[in-house]
Amino acid sequence: MKIDFTLNGQARSLNVDPLQPLLTTLRDVIGLKATKEGCGEGECGACSAIVNGKLVNTCLFPIAQVDGAQVLTLEGLRETPRGRCLIDALLTAKGVQCGFCTPGMVLALYQVLVNSPDVTQITEHEIRVGISGNLCRCTGYGMIVDAVNIAIEQGEGLW
Ligand code: FES
Ligand code: FES
């Protein structure tokens, strides 16, 4: 099946099995390896990407559903000022240890920030809910939560 979509701002056209997961397409067909496979069952969030403004688990997301959509992965986000701000904040907060959860976590945190009507009012609870689908086995989450506050502080005007 022919699938046309926009990936990190660039038009893509692929002939693939419509049931192939977006994760497989990103990693094995296109060669973008930031998106990780953890559980492969929709439980860990390591495979997160943003499709039409929503965080999805790409391991369970058939490529057919991407037809006509806008897809954002860490490779695209890190080229933007917001993405760089958030990654720098995560590093400053020491919210990256083994790094396996990090690509998905950055996208989940980005969603928390861009969906907030006023980032100065974001609560810890809202951040924790926003990353509740993204498991991290290393950090205990506290430093990841801190990163959002650092990003808001350092990225004044960006959010
Ligand atoms: S690999 Fe997709 S949710 Fe774990
Ligand atoms: S930094 Fe290791 S799983 Fe999150």
pLDDT, residue 138, reads 97
pLDDT tens figures, 59-117:
999 999 999 999 999 999 999 999 999 999 999 999 999 999 999 999 999 999 999 99
pLDDT tens figures, 15-68:
999 999 999 999 999 999 999 999 999 999 999 999 999 999 999 999 999 999
Average pLDDT, the chain: 97
Pick from 44, 51, 73 the residue to mutate for probing ligand 1's pocket: most ligand atoms within 8 Å of its CB: 44
pTM over 0.85: yes
Separation CA 20–CA 61 (nearest Å): 8
Ligand 1: residues within 6 Å at CB? 37-40, 42-47, 57, 59
The HSE-up count of residue 95 (CA atoms within 13 Å, CB side) is 28
Ligand with the closest atom to the CA of 21:
1
Q: Is the pLDDT of residue 3 over 90?
A: yes
